[in-house]
Structure 1
Amino acid sequence: MTEKVFEFINTNNLIEKKDRILIGVSGGADSVCLMHLLAEVYKDTDIKLFVVHVHHGIRDVEADKDEAFVKGLCDKLKIPFFAYHYDVKAIAAMEGLSEEETGRKVRYEAFFDAAKKNNCNKVAVAHNKNDNAETILLNLFRGSGIKGLTGIKPLSTMVTEFGCITVIRPLLPVTRKEIEGYLAERNISYRTDSTNLENIYTRNKIRNIIMDYAAKEINNNVIEHITGAGANLYEAYNFIEKNINDRFCAIVKEKQGIYEYDVNILSKEDIIIQKGIIRKILEQVAGNLKDIEAGHVNDILALGSKQVGKKLNLPYGMIAQKKYGIISIGKSSNLVSNRHIEKPEEEDIKIPGRTYLESYDIYIETEIIEDKKNKTFPKNSCMKWFDYDKIENTLKLRTRKTGDYLQINSQGGTKKLKDYFIDLKVPKEERDQVLLVADGSHILWILGYGGRISEKYKITDQTKTILSMKIKNAKEK
């Protein structure tokens, strides 16, 4: 087994010259094996080893004995020993976390602190092949994506609230049975955590019930098969991630913490690339993907077909917002602070022709239709049709002005644009950014927020000349 682990370490560059490695040792078979194996392999080298033990304050006397046991092993092997004490039950109750999650949190807090104090550049933990298989199943049951089904990695950089930790897992290529065999051959004792035998924790249920049943009743090589499937998925995941990263760079633009993409361009990608790009944006904005669910990604994709101005509230204070053919994603504070940066200039609309609005990166395309026979006028939020002969002034593409109004019924009733925005609950800070097509003070078309057009200009049976107007993102061909 020593040769297998040593080869795994070298293949994955887990340990290099002059490394200072902190080993997490609970006193159980796995961590005791890891400590002895590293001490054996790297004896009389420039690799320096340290041990940290975390007392969770749960098993009282039994936990005290575990600590004393690990300290005794370290004294025998002449490895510096550091113990950390926590009241996991109290912390879990105070922070509203499970004891499992809290235990993991305090362990990494201890790892980071001990590594920092001893100038250690890596932390070694004793995850083995069984742990890997259990993790894959656990993630599957929790509804994980492909990444979660790829299993535990030999080396990873963990970003915690306490800092960054480089974690290595030298025992990943060996099973728990091999570990116990290694210890038995060398007559090395270890402690058994009684809570590992209790099926009150999720992982214990998978380990003691599901995995045990699968090995006995389905296939006794279940560990190898599950971890093998994880390895295959990891290859597929890397291929997908490469393509996601390539398309992310081509499609997504970032400015002042706000990420934007063209809905039309993204929609042409395969759905797995679309979802991957969205998740990558969310990870960039939030800093991690914890609490980001598949539903959040699907809601953002669905936002692309919604009307202009629609937005989603997301975890970590993020907002996704629909603009004119564009989705913007960022922290709410960034979106608010950037909302008024570029107030568009007023533009005369060319009829017929194309009018570009640089600050929004869109253009209005217009056409005169003299004969409406055999013409269909489907409902479309980005394209509208008007009675051209009723237009009195040069049409303008602009934002609101004092005195703006629109006709709301066929009897000639009007409403101030300000009141219309209030009725529609358009946020006050967004009203100056809503684009309008205006005939003097009369608003023909409100671009977004329902896409309302004035009743005065609607096509009727008496209409002779039609003006078609279409709004397009400037990137559209």
Structure 2
Amino acid sequence: MIQEVSDFIYKHQLLHKKSTVIVGVSGGPDSLALLHLLHTLKETWELRLIAASVDHQLRGKESEQDVEFVKSICKQWEIEFVETKVDVKTYKKESSVGTQQAARELRYQYFREQMEVFQADYLALGHHGDDQAETLVMRLTRGTNPDGLKGIPMKREFANGHIIRPFLSVTRVAIEEYCKNNDLTPRIDPSNSEDSYTRNFYRIHVLPLLKQQNPNLISNLFRLSQTITHDELYLNLEAEKVLKQAVTFSSDTKEASLDLHPFSKYPIALQRRAFHLILNYLYHTMPDGLSYVHEDQFFEIIHNSKPNVTIDLPSQLKMSKAYDFVHFYFVKFESEVKAFHLPLQVPGSCQLLDGSKLTATVTSNPDKNTKYLMSFAIDETFAFPLIIRYRKPGDKIRVKGLNGRKKVKDIFIDEKIPLSQRDTWPIVVDQKGNIVWIIGLKKGIVTDRDIASSNFLQLHYIKGNM
């Protein structure tokens, strides 16, 4: 097995000479065999090895003894050793996650800290081919996209270095045989024989049945994961090009706008990957609720003949089609929208929630009106101070050339303003409730009289993220 793992390390460049390697060691067969094998290769690669062990405090004295066992092995083999205890039960309660996830997050947090302390190049972990097979079968059963079938990566960035998994090319049986041949007596976690955890259930009940049908299952699934990894790398690079052509990301807020004209020219395979790249950008952590259903909804709305369609995605993210664009944005709390009410003194200025700024000045020589600069003749009909707010149900505005008033809603429709932006579009009103300006869209008529005025109110809007 030493030669097989050595070849795997060389082929995939998992190590470089004179590197510092932290090895996660629990005392079980996989991690103990990994520590022993890397210790055997230590001189060849000129490695500095540090074993790191974590007591999750889930099995009382037994878990303490596991750490003491690893400590004694490291003393015997003259390997540096670090250890810690973590409170999984408290973290699980505070974070509302399962036991295994809580343990994993705390364990990796400690590994990250040690990587920085030792300025290590690698964190070596004992995941093997059977772990990879279990992961792929579990994901296939739950439902996943092709990216999920890459499985456990053999190497990925972590802290100031990389995580490496040199055992992914070998089986659990081979590791157990290695332990036997090298007189290693690993600790056995009794919880591994319980099928209450999902992974244990697959390992105990599902994988043996599949191996009966195909003894080469582990190696076949490993090759599949490698093939998909290479294919996904290429296709994602191509999908990045699609994003550059068709998607605009907000620099200040987690929003994205997809232009359907260039986007529709690309193959569905790239469209699908572009959709997932957008989600990767928007979500800090991918929510568990994402599924094939949302991918199907994405394709439904881009091919829907309706000009306005909105879909709810997990974690308050909305996907809203508005004519030739699809907008992705996180919904603001309704209370925050309703409460938005800013006074604007004249002269004076104020800053809006999205960072935009509105300035009011009085001048006898106003500039020419533009989309974001508007002037009004001042007389006694203006009721100051002005108010900046969002739209309300039934809002109407008087505009030049129309008898009566027009619904603000209809103006948004005429101007093809996306649904996602309508409820937070800034509107300027006076103290009497007259709409003075739907910023960037329509100027309101405040009085019916012709005004001969030497003073003008000039409003200047400096755009933020609207």
Aligned equivalent of 1:187, options 146, 159, 183: 183
Instruction: Tell me the equivalent position of 1:267.
Output: 264
How far apart in 2 are the matches of 1:310 and 1:430?
A: 19
Instruction: Tell me the equivalent position of 1:8.
Output: 8
Instruction: Tell me the equivalent position of 1:417.
Output: 407
How far apart in 2 are the matches of 1:136 and 1:130?
A: 10
Alignment check: 8 A CA contact 1:112 1:165 kept: no
How far apart in 2 are the matches of 1:247 and 1:20?
A: 39
Task: Report the Cα offset of residue 50 of structure 1.
Answer: 0.4
Instruction: Tell me the equivalent position of 1:109.
Output: 109
Instruction: Tell me the equivalent position of 1:248.
Output: 243
1:169-213 CA distance string (max 9 Å, x none): 011111111111111111111111111111110000011111122
1:415-474 CA distance string (max 9 Å, x none): 64148789x999553376799899x99xxxxxxxxxxxxxxxxxxxxxxxxxxxxxxxxx
Q: Say if 2:66 is the partner of 1:66.
A: yes
Instruction: Tell me the equivalent position of 1:235.
Output: 230
Give the 5 Å matches for 1:187-206: 187-206=183-202
Alignment check: 8 A CA contact 2:144 2:291 kept: no
Task: Report the Cα offset of residue 249 of structure 1.
Answer: 2.4
When residues 49 and 321 of structure 1 are mapped into structure 2, their CA distance, relative to the original with a 3 A threshold, is same
Instruction: Tell me the equivalent position of 1:386.
Output: none
How far apart in 1 are the matches of 2:174 and 2:157?
A: 27
The code of the aligned residue for 1:294 comes to: Y
Alignment check: 8 A CA contact 2:398 2:405 kept: no
Task: Report the Cα offset of residue 3 of structure 1.
Answer: 1.1
The residue matched to 2:424 in structure 1 has which SS?
helix
Instruction: Tell me the equivalent position of 1:449.
Output: none
Task: Report the Cα offset of residue 145 of structure 1.
Answer: 0.8
Alignment check: 8 A CA contact 2:139 2:149 kept: yes
Alignment check: 8 A CA contact 2:247 2:256 kept: yes
**Comparing 122-131 with 87-96, which one deviates more in the overlay?**
87-96
Instruction: Tell me the equivalent position of 1:213.
Output: 209
How far apart in 2 are the matches of 1:194 and 1:117?
A: 33
Q: Say if 2:170 is the partner of 1:174.
A: yes
Instruction: Tell me the equivalent position of 1:118.
Output: 118
Q: Which runs of 5+ in 2 are unaligned?
A: 333-351, 359-369, 373-394, 413-418, 428-437, 447-466
The code of the aligned residue for 1:132 comes to: Q
Alignment check: 8 A CA contact 1:19 1:120 kept: yes
Alignment check: 8 A CA contact 1:404 1:417 kept: no
The residue matched to 2:84 in structure 1 has which SS?
strand
The code of the aligned residue for 1:264 comes to: H
- Identical aligned pairs, as a percentage? 24
Instruction: Tell me the equivalent position of 1:137.
Output: 137
How far apart in 1 are the matches of 2:371 and 2:405?
A: 28
Alignment check: 8 A CA contact 2:169 2:219 kept: no
Instruction: Tell me the equivalent position of 2:325.
Output: 326
Give the 5 Å matches for 1:245-394: 245-256=240-251, 257=253, 258-291=255-288, 292-304=290-302, 305=304, 311-315=310-314, 318-331=317-330
How far apart in 1 are the matches of 2:396 and 2:355?
A: 18
How far apart in 1 are the matches of 2:440 and 2:114?
A: 58
Task: Report the Cα offset of residue 319 of structure 1.
Answer: 4.2
How far apart in 2 are the matches of 1:7 and 1:17?
A: 15
Instruction: Tell me the equivalent position of 1:156.
Output: 156
When residues 289 and 191 of structure 1 are mapped into structure 2, their CA distance, relative to the original with a 3 A threshold, is same
**Comparing 142-151 with 231-240, which one deviates more in the overlay?**
231-240
RMSD between aligned residues: 3.7
When residues 406 and 5 of structure 1 are mapped into structure 2, their CA distance, relative to the original with a 3 A threshold, is farther
Task: Report the Cα offset of residue 219 of structure 1.
Answer: 2.2
When residues 315 and 341 of structure 1 are mapped into structure 2, their CA distance, relative to the original with a 3 A threshold, is farther
When residues 248 and 420 of structure 1 are mapped into structure 2, their CA distance, relative to the original with a 3 A threshold, is closer
**Comparing 167-176 with 36-45, which one deviates more in the overlay?**
36-45
The code of the aligned residue for 1:295 comes to: V
- Report how many residues are paired: 374
The code of the aligned residue for 2:60 comes to: D
Task: Report the Cα offset of residue 11 of structure 1.
Answer: 1.3
How far apart in 1 are the matches of 2:269 and 2:442?
A: 38
